Structure 1
Amino acid sequence: MLVSLMPTLEVVISFTRGRRSTMASLMESLCPGFYEMLLDKPITQEDFICIKKCEKRCDHVHQGKGDVTVALTPLERNLVAEEGTLLARLIHSPGETSVEDARQKACTPLSQIRTFAVERNLLKVFLDHKAVSSMVLKSIITAGNCYGKSDRYKNKVVIMTCENLENTNGNITSYRAQCLLHHLSRLLELCGAEVLVRSLSENNGDRRTEMYRSNLTSNERSESKTEGRSTPDGNERLSEPIGIETDAESHLKFECNLESRIDCGDANVLAMDVSLSSVYDSDSKSLKILCGPVTCQQTGSKLTNYTTQQCCQNIERELERASEDKISNENETHQTAYMHTLARSCVSLILLGVNHLSPVKLSTTQDSYDSRESSFVMYNYARICAILERYTESTNQKLIPILPPIDEVNFINLKHEEEWKLVWVYLHQWPEIVATIVDGIFRCPVGDRKAMHRVGSARVVKFLHGLAHCFSVYYNRIHILPSNVDQCKHLLPQLWARLYLLKGIKIIMESAFRTLDIVPPCYM
């Protein structure tokens, strides 16, 4: 049975692991109204945990991407649906009368469901692509770099520790651990946690400890500069000294207070060690994150003497071979600096693109192709920047009208499958990806050697890979900017919708890059 609902039913069934986000996004802004309608009662936080287990995003042949199924029987059992409620009627008598009641009970502002069907105790929901795309893109454009942020862990303090954090040109495996620490700290900050980074180093037998307050906003205040400490290679690191404790005595007192809270089992303080050692201390009060080795692709052996600088040099040679015809017009000094930054970014993507427990395989030969996938991500970001820049130049020359406010744009013009996939599978899912990784960290029991299997440390890089490939397919199929506007004025509404889609993709990619401490290139 397939029943069409009136456009006045606006619901999107999507949740974030039983917690309501403070961000006004598609994820949860309208969902509670739908389940209150089904159950005829208010929905609690505990109810949302049950609801999450009963719903599933579907990619079946007969359903478009983004369609959701809800298992009605366990939903009724877990939430104790009373007899006579709409949920009970959809289960026991799923006829047109029940659907008509659903339409009549729905609130006026609801419009994101196009149709739904009840089959084998599954409520199959088909979304209205125009309404969903409009809400997602408006949320992203309005929130900007804040899209994906939440305060779900605002009362948490996380102390992250790593050996030789300042030495970014040492062994490549050690550099992988450093990248992992900074990546997880950015994600924790996005979810509201306060992150303190502790660096352990040893010089001539002298054990040295430094603690910094990780600061995500320093990169947001300036796209080109960060108010942090520089690493030995001259690159900025997005961390700054704690600042409150100006003298050694106060600083020691501050650390002792944190250690005391950890020893006392304070639930709001989490100590986390990023380590290369697989030895677990069952009595440790810290959550141990094991970072796997970097191995040689040809021999399979660990690259113990392979430095970060050597790796970057190999990647630079790859990039130079691939782009020697594209940026030859740049002056040599600028090109060298550009290639160095790009190579560092590619190395970060490579090292963080594999689950932290698994080894990263690198080729040590000069004719390697390790950077192919990571440079592809960068290239597609640069492609988006180029399109938006060309559009800005055209508006300055009055060849194309200025982009109207997003509220005046009709997203019904986003009709292609790739456009919907970009919105629903990628843009809409970014806040959920961040929350899922961080939830996994806080769910890990301290001292459990298997616990870190639950942390998807490679999800952000894989997300970028998928987004870049999806956009590449879309770009090769669709001509976004018209060559002659006078002959294509009737296509301007479609152009506006596509430009806002590109703006949304650019914002999400920049947010993901920030969690990886990567400054992406605006051209390639």
Structure 2
Amino acid sequence: MFQDDITTFINNLYIYLLSEEKHISGLLVKKHTGNLQKQGDFSFPNTVKSWKEYLNCDQLQNDLKVSLLQCINKNLTNLIETSQNWDIPVVKAIELNERIYLHIDRFKAIQLCFHNASINNELALQRLGATTNVINLDSSCKETNCITHLRLKILFKVLQNLYLINVYPETTDITVTWKSKSNQPNHKSVFCGTALNAKTGLKENDITADEYVSIRQNELTLIAKHKYGVRVSTEAKWKDFIASLGESAVAFELLQTKCTSPVKIEFDASGGSSKGAAFILYNCARLETILRAFNEKVDDGVYPQLPLLEETNLSLLTDEDEWHLIFNYVMGLPSLLKNSVEINKDKCEFRPHLICNFLSSMVKILSQYYRRVRILTEPRKHLLPVMFARIHLVIILNNTLKLCLRILNIKSVSQMYRKFILFTLLVQKVQNE
């Protein structure tokens, strides 16, 4: 099991409110994703009506008009005091419109999160290095050069990764198919939705999978030509990089729609369909650039060595975007991975589109943070502690992005000619200046 700090906090809160750990469906305790400074990190309704089915008979004898905390003979001060024994305590709790809003101890949360994120990343990579025979490709789906079959093959590999990373017992065979019904006994199946032409709404049979990849590669070539000039179409390194980036753009596009639903594809360049994966990889390159530049300055004696995580003052990570990235994406990763697969007696569902959504929203905040905050500073003594804390943050964020890309079988920047793309980013920086 991955270390899931958010789920642990929510479970502690349920135990506090209900005096025992219970399986709670729905969103009685809500984890917030935005406006964290004002609204807090979590909230829950403070009405008996909302919790009625989880309270015992003695508690329900009280007037239903009283608040939940009154019903269980507790208050906000008691909640804060009790939480001091949790791994992540509450530092502030307020009531507004019959709802309790909780602010957690950010420093303790970051310390715990960074420690557990390193453990989780190592464990995830270890699991992804294994193999499984549980996920199989439907052999009756005749292989063709159509886009739907390309989606089927891409899904097959990603579903294997999701199965491995969640460590399900290998007791059930799962078949990935585009056929709505499977006649195989004792098998579960995952349906792969058809690739549709967005303009016609019909299954795309005229444009082959190879042509589709070529269209995305051409889109990216035009973008690169506009920025870097004619050499893009003539230099071998550019061609190889654009080829890999085009394949990544296609994989991301086919995965970002729920796998059981049809995916609508825009084939003209004006749709900007390649930008999703390209923007994610571009932000990976930004992180790689920062780490590479930092290590070069360490080698040159400009900066001292990065101190160990335990010796770094993480309380200096006070920027709201830093907390947003940590709370929603680093701490949120274990829940994402768990929610991406659901296999039980009645259900067999994979949700790789959740990882695509996660990456897209993460890089928006990351890009905003990168443009606003200067991470590498002058090597002055009073500036170094903040920079060290931020370098550790960059390492954690970089590992988070690369792990998600690994699950989606999309090559990271470090795999796609890392030195080359870092050079192109440097060129772009010079051009912008």
TM-score normalised by L of structure 1: 0.67
Residue number among 24, 35, 57 corresponding to 2:31 in the alignment: 57
Alignment partners' CA distance in 2, 1:370 and 1:53: 34
CA-CA distance at 1:503 after TM superposition: 0.9
Q: Match of 2:6, as an amino acid?
A: M
Aligned residue runs from structure 1 range 368-517, under 5 A:
369-439=272-342, 441-442=343-344, 444-445=346-347, 455-482=350-377, 484-486=378-380, 489-517=381-409
CA-CA distance at 1:350 after TM superposition: 0.9
Aligned residue runs from structure 1 range 303-342, under 5 A:
303-324=204-225, 325-326=227-228, 328=231, 332-342=235-245
Q: Hey, what does 2:411 align to over in structure 1?
A: 519
Deviation track 1:313-355 (CA, whole Å, cap 9, x = no partner) reads: 2222122222235595999333332222222111111110112
1:384 to 1:90, Cα distance in 2 relative to 1, 3 A: same
Alignment partners' CA distance in 2, 1:91 and 1:149: 44
* Matched pairs, number: 405
CA contact (8 A) 1:183 1:517 kept: yes
Q: Match of 2:394, as an amino acid?
A: L
CA contact (8 A) 1:162 1:181 kept: no
CA-CA distance at 1:396 after TM superposition: 0.6
Q: Match of 1:313, as an amino acid?
A: S
> SS in structure 2 opposite 1:69?
strand
> SS in structure 2 opposite 1:490?
coil
Q: Greater CA deviation, 398-407 or 326-335?
A: 326-335
Deviation track 1:373-405 (CA, whole Å, cap 9, x = no partner) reads: 221111111111111111111111111122111
Q: Match of 1:485, as an amino acid?
A: P
CA contact (8 A) 1:50 1:75 kept: no
Deviation track 1:83-110 (CA, whole Å, cap 9, x = no partner) reads: 6xxxx99735389984444455555565
> SS in structure 1 opposite 2:294?
helix
Q: Hey, what does 1:136 align to over in structure 2?
A: 113
Consecutive unaligned residues in structure 1, runs of 5 or more: 1-21, 195-267, 447-451
RMSD: 3.7
Q: Hey, what does 1:125 align to over in structure 2?
A: 102
Residue number among 3, 15, 24 corresponding to 2:3 in the alignment: 24
1:352 to 1:286, Cα distance in 2 relative to 1, 3 A: same
Alignment partners' CA distance in 2, 1:466 and 1:106: 31
> SS in structure 2 opposite 1:50?
coil
**1:301 lines up with 2:202 in the alignment:** yes
Residue number among 166, 179, 185 corresponding to 1:277 in the alignment: 179
Alignment partners' CA distance in 1, 2:133 and 2:344: 11
Q: Hey, what does 1:172 align to over in structure 2?
A: 147
**1:346 lines up with 2:241 in the alignment:** no
> SS in structure 2 opposite 1:289?
strand
> SS in structure 2 opposite 1:160?
strand
Deviation track 1:442-461 (CA, whole Å, cap 9, x = no partner) reads: 36547xxxxx6xx5331111
**1:355 lines up with 2:332 in the alignment:** no
**1:113 lines up with 2:113 in the alignment:** no
CA-CA distance at 1:66 after TM superposition: 6.0
Alignment partners' CA distance in 2, 1:380 and 1:65: 29
Alignment partners' CA distance in 1, 2:7 and 2:326: 16
Deviation track 1:384-427 (CA, whole Å, cap 9, x = no partner) reads: 11111111111111111221111122222222221111111112
Identical counterparts, % of pairs: 20
CA-CA distance at 1:282 after TM superposition: 8.0
**1:161 lines up with 2:137 in the alignment:** yes
Alignment partners' CA distance in 2, 1:119 and 1:65: 10
Q: Match of 2:165, as an amino acid?
A: L
Deviation track 1:111-148 (CA, whole Å, cap 9, x = no partner) reads: 53221134565432112222222221222134434259
Q: Match of 2:202, as an amino acid?
A: S
1:68 to 1:147, Cα distance in 2 relative to 1, 3 A: farther
TM-score normalised by L of structure 2: 0.80
Q: Match of 2:112, as an amino acid?
A: M
1:481 to 1:358, Cα distance in 2 relative to 1, 3 A: same
CA contact (8 A) 2:312 2:385 kept: yes
1:383 to 1:326, Cα distance in 2 relative to 1, 3 A: farther
CA contact (8 A) 1:170 1:307 kept: yes
Q: Hey, what does 1:287 align to over in structure 2?
A: 188
Q: Match of 1:386, as an amino acid?
A: T
Q: Match of 2:177, as an amino acid?
A: S
1:139 to 1:105, Cα distance in 2 relative to 1, 3 A: closer
Alignment partners' CA distance in 2, 1:80 and 1:329: 69
**1:68 lines up with 2:45 in the alignment:** no
1:91 to 1:323, Cα distance in 2 relative to 1, 3 A: same
Consecutive unaligned residues in structure 2, runs of 5 or more: 422-433
Q: Match of 1:457, as an amino acid?
A: P
CA contact (8 A) 2:135 2:174 kept: yes
Q: Match of 1:463, as an amino acid?
A: F
Alignment partners' CA distance in 2, 1:485 and 1:377: 30
Alignment partners' CA distance in 1, 2:311 and 2:94: 32
